[in-house]
Amino acid sequence: MPSVPNSSAAPEVLLRVTGLTKTYRRVTALDDVGFEVRNGEVLGVIGPNGAGKTTLFECLAGMMPRDAGIVRVNGDLLPATQAGAHLFYLPDAIAPWPSQPVGWALDFTVGFFGGRADRRDDVVRALNLDALLDRRIGTLSKGQRKRAMLAIGLLAPQPILLVDEPFDGLDLRQTRDVSAAVRAHAADGRTIVLSIHQISDAARVCDRFVLLSAGHVRGEGTLDELAAAAETRGAHASHGLEEVFLALT
Amino acid sequence: MRSRSGPFVWLVRKEWRELTASRAWWALLALTGPLVGVSFIAAVNSYAEVSAGAGSGCGFVCNPLDGIWAPTFSAYELAAIFLLPFVAIRLVGGDRQTGALTIELQRPMSPFARMGAKALVLLAGWLVTGLAGLCAAGLWLAYGGSAYAPEIAVVAVGHLLNAGITISLAAAAASMTDHPSTAAIATLAVTVGLWIVDFAAAIHGGVWTTVAAYTPSALVAAFQHGLVQVDVVLIALTIIATGLAVAALWMRPGVPVAGRARDSLALAAVAAVVVFGATQARGSWDASESRRNSFPEGDEQALEQVRAPLTVEVHLAPADPRRQELDHQALAKLKRAMPHVRVFYVSRTSTGLFEEADPGYGEIRYDLGGRHVMSRVITDEGVMETVLGLAGITPAADADDEFHGHPLAVRPVAASWVFYGLWPTVVVGAGVLVLRRQV
């Protein structure tokens, strides 16, 4: 695995994944996947469709049984059944409680999960949800729903937030707004892991990256660290994350 | 700042909002009124005809339990079979379809608590439909009809248990399958399967009869007769608990299908043992005002003196109406009154049509502590006298505790207006108001 060495000044590791493997009958979706997530960072898991990003998130969140692998939080073993105590996973393309208004869903998230009610207004403002609070979730457009779901994720109290395809369905302006909201949230101490297939979106918001392809981790690090690794393979990494990704995968 | 209500309370509130936001529940509510209305109006008309024909001395024929409450509340049996499953499947399976379950599962909580919240709300939703039955009771009292609270309560409890069974089966099906339509098919398949058991019992007798005694339709029938049987109640509660527990087991995230199946089978095995144990439980309570499930008190006291075990060998085919009557009336009462009664059925065929010529066909052979007697009488009085005669006991003289009936020849005034007009209007109006308030 061509991962890049960590710098000595790196923040403490909050989540460490080693040897994570998942197969669907004869198809290996994740093969000996390993990486780490640092406290307070925004980590992008980058890969094309079918790379195994969603499977990885579902395994981490305990939604799907894994065949092998160890997950540690703050150095302690995290069994799949206890994942909900540390991680909140926001799947892509869901419309939970479609008959209920967005405002109720946010209140429910705060009440049921024990989230912070004082963050509610900030999250609503950051994601431009004021006009949608009385709208039923089932009536929202794809982009509106994505923002409402992200608000749920930002209000959940777990220290690590996993978001599957946070920018899917958003236009450019919305993507920038959501990126800003995610960055602000991370600056407030939350650790966020995003699964992204659009590399340009990932470059905009993430501190570090995990490159995933065909169920394998092909690289891990900051853009500079990955670019250095790519240049050892003869790539012109100055062209950005896309060139780096192509060189390493 | 954190919310003061606990997660379970939030979950129950959420389930209630989801229930009241579902068209399936409002459809159930809207249809229950007319269903109860049809049954009630027909029952009052029939009761009036019987009362007018029989006069003041109509006795057992004019009892509101059989004449009014059983037929009126039978509407709930239909609703439980054909409407309630869809409400339950919507509440349980809908969360999986929309992704709400994935979100909610990330709050550490026992799956049994999650399923408990859904079951509580579904039961509450079912109780709301009971308002139609209350309307019927109110109208009956307004007509001057007689109401004996214990027997009405027993009928209502029977339908509540039946609804509980439906909810637990539908919840298990919804939790085990990926799509609500699959769950609906699975639930209806179980219902049809239970009807087949009832049918097989009527045709073949034997072990089928034993199993059929505990189907939901048999449960409802017993309660509609004002009879509470400990074994039936225990088995119904076991089935309800098992169904909900299986639903909870299949709700756990991250557990492989094989693991869920293994746990479910283990649970089913435990439930089977409990059910078998429950079948051995004796004890029952006849809540009917007319004591329709019991011999007269004096005769029962005489039967209680009989200590020797009684064996009854009935030479009647399963589909023979005489066997049905003997089994459901005299023998059922005998089993309740005497501690040691064993009944065997002997027949070559299921219908008995070609056994009529057999010299022994139709015989009922009694053996009480080695003394034998044969009779062909199937009436309550005949059976009781035979047993007491065999025991050498002379029954006490009949006390004047005979049920004299409550004849009432009235038309169901305003019932059509209430059930076909007012009820649907109120339900639709309430639905619009509730749905608007949720936004």
Task: Tell me which residue of A209, A205, A218 sits closest to A247, measured CA to CA.
Answer: A218
**Residue A203 belongs to domain spanning:** 13-98+160-248
- Residue contact B18–A88, C-beta within 8 A: no
- Residue contact B102–A100, C-beta within 8 A: no
In whole angstroms, what is the distance from residue A162 CA to residue A180 CA? 17
pTM score: 0.89
The answer to whether B119 touches B165, Cβ cutoff 8 Å, is no
- Residue contact A63–B104, C-beta within 8 A: no
ipTM of the complex: 0.90
- Residue A1 domain-assigned (yes or no): no
Residue in chain A lying closest to B16 (CA): A100
In whole angstroms, what is the distance from residue A63 CA to residue A47 CA? 21
Summarize pLDDT for B101-145 with one digit per residue, the tens: 999 999 999 999 999 999 999 999 999 999 999 999 999 999 999
Element (H, E) at A13: strand A13-24
Summarize pLDDT for B304-347 with one digit per residue, the tens: 888 889 999 999 998 889 998 999 899 999 998 887 899 999 98
- Residue A113 domain-assigned (yes or no): no
In whole angstroms, what is the distance from residue A177 CA to residue A170 CA? 10
- Residue contact A117–B1, C-beta within 8 A: yes
Write out the two tokens for A210. Answer: 């995990």
Summarize pLDDT for B154-191 with one digit per residue, the tens: 999 999 999 999 999 999 999 999 899 999 999 999 99
Q: In chain A, which among 96-125 make CB contacts under 8 A with chain B?
A: 96-101, 104, 108, 110-114, 116-118
- Residue A211 domain-assigned (yes or no): yes
The answer to whether B154 touches B223, Cβ cutoff 8 Å, is yes
- Residue A128 domain-assigned (yes or no): no
Domain spans in chain B, listed from the N-terminal domain onward: 7-287+405-437, 297-391
Write out the two tokens for A71. Answer: 């997950």
pLDDT band at residue B2, thresholds of 50, 70 and 90? very low
A101 vs B contacts (CB less than 8 Å): 438-439
The domain tally of chain A equals: 1
pLDDT below 50 — which residues of chain A? 1-8
In whole angstroms, what is the distance from residue A74 CA to residue A36 CA? 11
Write out the two tokens for B246. Answer: 């299986």
The answer to whether B69 touches B152, Cβ cutoff 8 Å, is yes
What's the N-to-C CA distance of chain A in angstroms?
Answer: 11
The answer to whether B156 touches B53, Cβ cutoff 8 Å, is no
Chain centroid offset of residue B139 CA: 24
- Residue A235 domain-assigned (yes or no): yes
In whole angstroms, what is the distance from residue A85 CA to residue A158 CA? 6
- Residue A167 domain-assigned (yes or no): yes
A117 vs B contacts (CB less than 8 Å): 1-3
Looking from the CA of A186 toward its CB, the CA atoms found within 13 Å total 24
Instruction: For domain B297-391, give the CATH number.
Output: 3.40.30.10
A116 vs B contacts (CB less than 8 Å): 1-2
Q: Across all residues in chain B, what is the average pLDDT?
A: 92
- Residue contact A95–B99, C-beta within 8 A: yes
In whole angstroms, what is the distance from residue B105 CA to residue A63 CA? 8
Summarize pLDDT for B229-288 with one digit per residue, the tens: 999 999 999 999 999 999 999 999 889 999 999 999 999 999 999 999 999 888 899 999
Instruction: Give the ranges where B216-320 is alpha helix by DSSP (H).
Output: 216-224, 230-249, 257-279, 297-304
In whole angstroms, what is the distance from residue B167 CA to residue A80 CA? 30
Residue-level pLDDT at B157 = 97
Task: Tell me which residue of B388, B392, B360, B391 sits closest to B376, measured CA to CA.
Answer: B360
- Residue A130 domain-assigned (yes or no): no
Q: What is the mean pLDDT of residues B402-411?
A: 89
Beta strand A68-73 with A76-77 is: antiparallel
CATH assignment of the domain containing A18: 3.40.50.300
Write out the two tokens for B221. Answer: 């029938």
Q: Is B397's pLDDT higher than 90?
A: no
Looking from the CA of A204 toward its CB, the CA atoms found within 13 Å total 19
- Residue A42 domain-assigned (yes or no): yes
Residue-level pLDDT at B411 = 95
Residue-level pLDDT at A1 = 36
The answer to whether A129 touches A148, Cβ cutoff 8 Å, is yes
Residue-level pLDDT at A49 = 86
Q: HEC profile for B401-417?
A: CCCCCCCCCCCCCCHHH
CB nearest to B98's CB, from A89, A97, A113: A97
Q: What is the dihedral of CA B287, B293, B295, B297, to 10 degrees?
A: 0
Looking from the CA of B102 toward its CB, the CA atoms found within 13 Å total 26
pLDDT band at residue B358, thresholds of 50, 70 and 90? confident
